[in-house]
Structure 1
Amino acid sequence: MANLIDAAKSQIDELMSDAYNKAVQAGSLPAGHVLSGAVEIPRDTQNGDYAATHALAAARNMKMAPRKIAEAITAQLDLSGSYFGRFNMAGPGFINFTLSDKWYKDVLRAVETEGEAYGACDVGGGARVMVEFVSANPTGPMTIGNARGGVLGDTLAAVLEKAGYQVWREFYVNDAGNQVELFGKSIEARYMQLCLGEDNYEFPENGYHGDDIRALAQLIRERDGDKYVTAGADERVRAFVSFGLPYNIALMKKHLERYRINFDQWFLESTLHESGYVAETVNLLSDQGYTYEKDGAVWLKNMELGADKDEVLRRANGFYTYYAVDIAYHRNKFVERGFDRVIDIWGADHHGHAIRFKSTMTSPALGIDPSRLDFVIMQMVRLVRDGETVKVSKRTGKALTLNDLLDEISVDACRFFFNAKPDTHLEFDLGLAVRQDSENPVYYVQYAHARICSLLSALGAEGHDVSAIAGVDASLLAHETERDVIKQLSLLPEEIKLAARDYDPSRINRYVIELAARFHRFYNACRIKGEEENLLAARLKLADAVRVVIRNCLGILGVTAPEKM
C-alpha cells in the first residue's frame, strides 16, 4: 500500500542524513549529531515541493548558524535515483526539494497496481473496532438527525476499514424502558379512539402524536377488530408493544438499507435485562464501593470518578435507569465481546452525558481502559428550502423523516451532504441537493467521473486504450495542471490515515471535490484527443488514474460513480 507522500518525506530524511555524514567526513560539520527535522509541503510550491528544516533544528546543538549548516549539507546532497530533481536553500536555512518525473510516475504506478485498494493503509493493524451509530428509539420513524448520524457512522466505519481496522457496525435498540411503555400507551389510545370515537378516550399528555402511531393502531384494528376494547389496559399495552416494536424495527432496517446502511448487529437492550447483565454490572460497582443508597435508590459515586454529578443506577421502584443499562452495554462491548476500541456516534444533546460516562468508565470495577472508548458528537442539522428553514418536530408528528427525505433527494446527495464535519452545524440545502450543475458538490464529482468514462470510451473506439504505466512517458506530464492532479492523487492514503485518526470522514468529501476540481482544470487546459500519440497516452493514463481514485472515494462515501450523466 503505497503512500508516496510518506515515501518522499522519508527519502528526504535519508538524503539529508547521507549528506551530513559526508559533510562530517569533509570537515565542514561537527561529528556526533543526528540530523533530523520536519519535512513539510509548503502552501506555495514555487521554490520547491517540500521544505526541510533539518539545518534549523541542528543549529543549537552544533552551535552553528542554520544557513552555514544548510550550505554544508547542500554541498554534499546527491539526488541520483531519488524522487527529486533539484534542491535549493531559502531563508535562514530551509532546504527545498523539487519532485522529479520518477515520483510522478510512481504515483500513477501505485494507482494502477493497487486499483480499488489504492488509498488503503494499515495503521489499524487489524484491531477490532465497533462503531455504534443511529441507535434511534424504535418508537417512531427515523429523523433527519438519524440521517446524519447514519452517514457519519457508516462512512467512518468505511474509512476505518480502509485504514486497516476490523470494523463492526452496531445499532443499539432501546426496546425497554419508559419510552417503550409510552409508545404502547400511545398506540393504545389511538386504537381505543378508533373503536370508541376520538372524544371518548383520552390521549396521554406526553404521548407520541405522529401519524405513524395512528397507522399502527389502524393496522391492529384491521387485524383484530375491537378485540382489545374489553381487555385490561396493561394487556393492551403489552400486546401493542409486541406488535409495534418489531414492526418499527423492520421498517427501520428497510429504510436504512435504502440508505445503503447495513449493520452487523441490531443489539436489543432487553437482552441485557433478561440475562441479568444489568443487575450484575450494578452489583459489581456496589461490591467495590462505588455506589450508595439514598431515598431508596442506588446511586453511582460518579463525582469520585471525575464527573460533575452522581448518577442514579436503580430507582426506588426497583427499575434500572438508562445510565445503568448504558454501563452494562459498554461492559458487554469490551469485556464480553472483546472489542479493542468502541466509537459511539451521538447527537449534540448527549454531549454532557458523554463526558460523565467517560468518567464512569475509569472505575476499576468495570475492568475497562477508558481510553478505548471514544465519542463522536455530531451537531444539529438545519434543513433549508428556498432560503427558509424547514420546520421539523418529532413530538407533534410533523417531522420530515429519513424516508420522506429519500423520496425527495437522491441517496447519493443525502450521503454526500450529510457527511459534513461532525462537530459543525449542518445547513442542508434541499434545493442545492437536487441541482445538476457545478454548484452541487456531489454532481460536480460524479460528473468528473462520468466525463472521464465518456472520454475513455470515445478514445477506445478510435483505438486509443489506456496504456500500462511501464509504457507511459510521465515526463510529458509537465503542465502545471497535470502535476497538480498527480499531487492530489498522491494525497489519498494520507487523507484516509488522517480521517481515521481524527474520526472525520468528511476529509474524503473535501479531498474528492478538490480532485474533481483539479481534473476539470487539467481537462480544460490540456487537450487529449488529437495530440501526438505519446502525449495522448500519458494524459489518458492520468485521466484514468483520476477515474479510479474518484470511484474509490465515492465507494467510501457510499455514493455511486456513474459512467454516464
Structure 2
Amino acid sequence: MDIKDTLLAAIEEAAKAAIADGVFPEAQLPNIILEVPPKKEMGDFATNFAMQSAKAFRMNPRKIAEEVTGRINGDWLEHVEIAGPGFINFFLKANVLYDGLKAIMDRGESFGQLPRKDMKPVQVEYVSANPTGPLHVGHGRGAAAGSALVNVMRAAGYPVTSEYYINDAGNQINNLALSVDHRYLELLGKATEDTFPENGYHGADIIDTAQRIIKKDGDKYLNMSEEERLNIFKE
C-alpha cells in the first residue's frame, strides 16, 4: 500500500471510529479526495473531507476536522493542520518520501506496473505504413499509437499480444506491381494511358518509381514475360 492509500485508509478509519464513539451520527461516508496543495507550506496532501461530510454528520466542518485528525496517527505522519473552513493538511515525515524514492529506484523500469490480470488474452492489431503510396505523418501516428497502447496495457497488467501488419503482400501489392509495370512500359513507349489497369494506382510516385527502375536497369525487363516483370517489380 502506498502512502496515499495509507492516508485515505487512515481518514476513513478515523471517521468510522468517531461514529463508533458516538461523536458522529451513523452516515455514509463521502468519497474521500486527496490533493497535493498548491504550496509546499500547506502540506504534502490535503483533503476537504470535513466539508464533504458536514451535511451527512450535521456538524460544523472544523469540528469534523478536529475529531478526524485527533484519531489519526502513524509513524509516517509529522503533523496535521486544520486550515480555513475545515481543510485538513497532512505533513509527512521525510523518511516516508525517501522510502518512496528508494522503492522507485529499486523497481527500475518495472516501477508502476500492475500485477498481471487473470483474464483472457487481448490482441491489439495495428497497421504499418501502406507501401503503395508516399509516407506521411499518419503512418507514423498509427504505428506509434498502436505500440504505445500495447505498452500501456501490458504495464496495467493485461495479457497482451500485438500484431503489427506489414502490408507487403496481397492484392494491393499486385495492383502496385501492375501500376509500376504499366508506367515502366509507358515511359519506354510500349504502353499508353488508356490501357492503365482499372485498379491501378494513379499517383505521381508510381511514375517516379518506374523512372528509378529505368535509371538503374534501363529496358532490361522489356524482353521478359509480364509475369516475370511483375514478380521483380513486387520486390
Q: 1:115 aligns with which of 90, 108, 130?
A: 108
> 2-side partners of 1:138 and 1:147: how far apart?
13
Counterpart of 1:51 (choices 39, 43, 46) is: 46
2:92 counterpart (90, 99, 111): 99
CA distance in structure 2 between the aligned counterparts of 1:153 and 1:217, rounded to whole angstroms? 38
Bigger proportion of residues as helix: 1
2:132 counterpart of 1:135 = no
User: CA offsets, 1:389-431, max 9 Å, x none?
Assistant: xxxxxxxxxxxxxxxxxxxxxxxxxxxxxxxxxxxxxxxxxxx
C-alpha displacement at 1:110, in angstroms?
1.0
Name the structure 2 match of 1:202.
193
Query: 1:123-522 counterparts in 2 under 5 A?
Result: 128-172=121-165, 173=167, 175-176=169-170, 179-180=172-173, 182-196=175-189, 201-202=192-193, 204=196, 207-210=202-205, 211-215=208-212, 224-228=221-225, 236=226, 241-245=230-234, 247=235
Once the two structures are superposed, residues 299-337 of structure 1 have per-residue CA deviations (whole angstroms, 9 ceiling, x without a partner) of: xxxxxxxxxxxxxxxxxxxxxxxxxxxxxxxxxxxxxxx
Distance (whole Å) between structure 1 residues aligned to residue 84 and residue 201 of structure 2: 69
Match of 1:64, SS state, is coil
Is the Cα–Cα contact under 8 Å of residues 43 and 90 in structure 2 kept in the other structure? yes
Q: 2:23 aligns with which of 20, 28, 35?
A: 28
Whether the 8 Å CA contact 1:128–1:165 is kept in 2: the answer is yes
Change (3 A) 1:181 1:17: closer
- Distance in 1 separating the partners of 2:180 and 2:57: 79
Change in Cα spacing, 1:35 to 1:225, as seen in structure 2 (3 Å) is closer
Deviation at 1:34, TM superposition (A): 4.2
Distance in 2, Cα, partners of 1:99 & 1:241: 72
| 8 A contact 1:183–1:208 mirrored in 2 | no
Deviation at 1:181, TM superposition (A): 5.7
The amino acid of 1:20's aligned partner reads A
Q: How many Å apart are 1:37 and its aligned residue?
A: 1.6
Mark the structure with the bigger radius of gyration: 2
Structure 2 counterpart of 1:118, one-letter code: F
Aligned to 1:37: 32
Check whether the contact 2:33–2:47 (CA below 8 A) recurs between aligned residues. Answer: yes
Q: Which amino acid aligns with 1:164?
A: G
Describe the shift of the 1:131–1:227 C-alpha distance in structure 2 as closer, same or farther (beyond 3 A): same
Instruction: Please report how far the alpha carbon of residue 222 of structure 1 lies from its aligned counterpart in structure 2 after TM superposition.
Output: 6.7
> Structure 1 pair 45/120, CA: closer, same or farther in 2 (3 Å)?
same
CA distance in 2: counterparts of 1:88 and 1:127, whole angstroms: 48
Q: Residues of 2 paired with 1:44 and 1:12: CA distance?
A: 19
Shift of 1:196: 3.2
Q: Are 2:14 and 1:7 aligned? A: no
Q: 1:188 to 1:88 in 2, by over 3 A?
A: same
Q: Which residue of 2 aligns with 1:421?
A: none
Residue 47 of structure 1, CA deviation: 0.8
Q: Which one of 76, 81, 92 corresponds to residue 75 of structure 2?
A: 81
Are the equivalent residues in 2 in contact too, given 1:53–1:95 (CA < 8 A)? yes
- The separation in 1 between residues aligned to 2:125 and 2:155, in whole angstroms, is 18
Mapped partners of 1:9, 1:216: distance in 2:
64
Unaligned runs of 5+ in 2: none
Could you give the per-residue CA deviations for residues 350-394 of structure 1, whole angstroms, max 9, x where no partner exists? xxxxxxxxxxxxxxxxxxxxxxxxxxxxxxxxxxxxxxxxxxxxx
Unaligned runs of 5+ in 1: 1-5, 229-235, 248-565
In the TM superposition, what is the alpha-carbon distance from 1:141 to its structure 2 partner? Answer: 4.9
* Contact residue 126 and residue 164 of structure 1 kept, 8 A: no
- Aligned-pair CA distance for 1:95: 1.2
C-alpha distance in structure 1 between counterparts of 2:16 and 2:189, whole Å: 94
Measure how far apart 1:26 and its partner are: 4.9
Quote the Cα distance in structure 2 between the aligned partners of 1:163 and 1:208. Answer: 43
Which string of whole-angstrom CA distances, capped at 9 and with x for unpartnered residues, describes residues 155-201 of structure 1? Answer: 33222222222332323438455x5564233212222135436xx63
CA distance in 1, matches of 2:151, 2:210: 35
**In 1, Cα distance between equivalents of 2:87 and 2:67:** 13
Q: State, as a whole percentage, how many aligned pairs show the same letter.
A: 29
- 1:68 is aligned with what amino acid? K
- 1:103 Cα deviation after fit: 1.8
Normalised TM-score (structure 2): 0.76
Distance 2:155 2:137 in 1: 27
Q: Distance in 1 between matches of 2:133 and 2:20?
A: 76
Report the CA distance between 1:99 and its aligned residue. 2.3
CA RMSD of aligned residues (A): 3.4
Q: Report if aligned partners of 1:35, 1:58 keep a CA contact under 8 Å in 2.
A: yes
Mapped to 2, the partners of 1:174 and 1:71 lie a distance apart of: 69
Tell whether the 8 Å contact from 2:115 to 2:156 is kept in structure 1 after alignment: yes
- Offset at residue 126 of structure 1 (A): 6.0
SS of 2:13's equivalent in the other structure is helix
Distance 1:128 1:88, change over 3 A: same
Q: Name the stretch that deviates more: 147-156 or 118-127.
A: 118-127
- The offset of 1:94, in angstroms, is 2.0
Q: Which has the higher contact order (CA 8 A, sep 6+)?
A: 1
